[in-house]
Structure 1
Amino acid sequence: MRWLEHRIPPPIVVVIVAAAMWPLARFAPAVPLDDPWRWVLAAVLALCGLLVARAGVAAFARHKTTINPVNIDAASSLVTSGIFARTRNPMYLGMTLLLLGWAVVLAGAWTFLGPVAFVLFITRFQIMPEERVMTAKFGAAYETYRREVRRWI
């Protein structure tokens, strides 16, 4: 299934997963979250997701490297500071938090499979191929970074 690597931009994967979560909510057992707290939790998750993803984009902009996840070969520098000192994939982590917020809004037990599916798909078809390219491009510096900073959190 290598043909899927770097084929679908991660924001499109988020939209597909979020759309798939909607019908799951109709048929899933409800998660017992009271309305005011459900919306607060969803908003906190979504806001954290946006902030984490934005921090990743801003770090890439500061280092003048591409944020295009489909053309990873265009990466011009290894970013290891800021949010990237805590997670190697802040943009994907942010997207996952957004999907978790959406799962909370939908409040169906099966909807929480959406963020799990996203993490599995993005890890296999986006992150692992990116790691191969980064290793080839940045060598020992990337290997050191990879050992010191977790892939997700």
Structure 2
Amino acid sequence: MKSLERKLPPPLVFIILCLAIKFTSDEFNTLSVNLPFAHIVLIACLVVSVLVGFAGVYEFRKAKTTISPIQVKHASKVVDTGVFSFTRNPMYLSMFVLLFGFAYWQQNILSMLITFIFVFYINRFQIFPEEAALEELFGATYVDYKQRVRRWI
């Protein structure tokens, strides 16, 4: 499975799972439930997702380092300011929050479970390899950062 490590861009994984959520919701409507405040949850997740995601991109740009999750070796420094002082992966967190909001809005239990495939996939095939590359690149500086800040929230 090493061949999948850092190969699929996380936004592509996000889009694939959005489609899977919609398909599941449409095809398995017997698993539909009536969840409260669906539109409010979707809008709240959208707002949080945009704020957290853009805050992460902003900090990377400010630090003049790469935002590419595929080209980790091009990172020029460990960013631990702003949103990165609360989560090591704000862009992935942003995608998960939006994915969950979309699944909740679909009102389908199976669709909501699909969102956790994103967490599993991103942890296994994106974050773990990224962390290994960043430890190799930045050594103790990155290890210290990992000990201070949680992976997701």
Q: Shorter-chain TM-score category?
A: over 0.9
TM-score of the superposed pair, with normalisation by structure 2: 0.96
* 1:30 equivalent in structure 2: 32
Deviation at 1:43, TM superposition (A): 0.7
1:80 maps to which residue?
A: 80
Q: Which runs of 4+ in 1 moved over 6 A?
A: none
Offset of residue 115 of structure 1: 1.4
How is 1:1-153 mapped onto 2 (pairs within 5 angstroms)? 1-26=1-26, 27-28=28-29, 29-34=31-36, 37-153=37-153
CA contact (8 A) 1:99 1:114 kept: no
The code of the aligned residue for 2:69 comes to P
RMSD: 0.9
Letter of the 2:35 counterpart: L
Matched letter for residue 33 of structure 1: L
Deviation at 1:126?
0.4
Percent of counterpart pairs with the same letter? 40
Q: Which amino acid aligns with 1:142?
A: Y
For 1:115 and 1:55, locate their aligned partners in 2 and report how far apart those are by CA, in whole Å. 22
Offset of residue 24 of structure 1:
1.1
CA shift, 1:46, in A, is 1.4
What is the alpha-carbon distance in structure 2 between the residues aligned to residue 32 and residue 138 of structure 1? 48
TM-score by length of 1: 0.96
| Separation of aligned partners in 1, 2:15 and 2:40 | 22
Q: 2:114, 2:122 → 1: CA distance?
A: 12
Q: Structure 2 CA distance, aligned partners of 1:16 and 1:47?
A: 21
SS of the counterpart of 1:48? helix
- Separation (CA, whole Å) in 1 of partners of 2:21 and 2:144: 37
Gaps of 5+ in 2: none
Equivalents in 1 of 2:32, 2:147: separation in Å? 40
Which one-letter code corresponds to 1:13 in the other structure?
Answer: V
**Cα-to-partner distance string for 1:7-49 (whole Å, 9 max, x where unaligned):** 0000000000110111211204122224xx2101111011101
Q: How many correspondences in the alignment?
A: 151
Q: Give 1:57's aligned amino acid.
A: V
Residue by residue over 1:120-148, the C-alpha shift from the partner in whole angstroms, topping out at 9 and shown as x without a partner, is: 00000000000001100111111111011
CA–CA separation in structure 2 for the residues paired with 1:31 and 1:76: 47
Structure 1, unmatched stretches of 5+, are: none
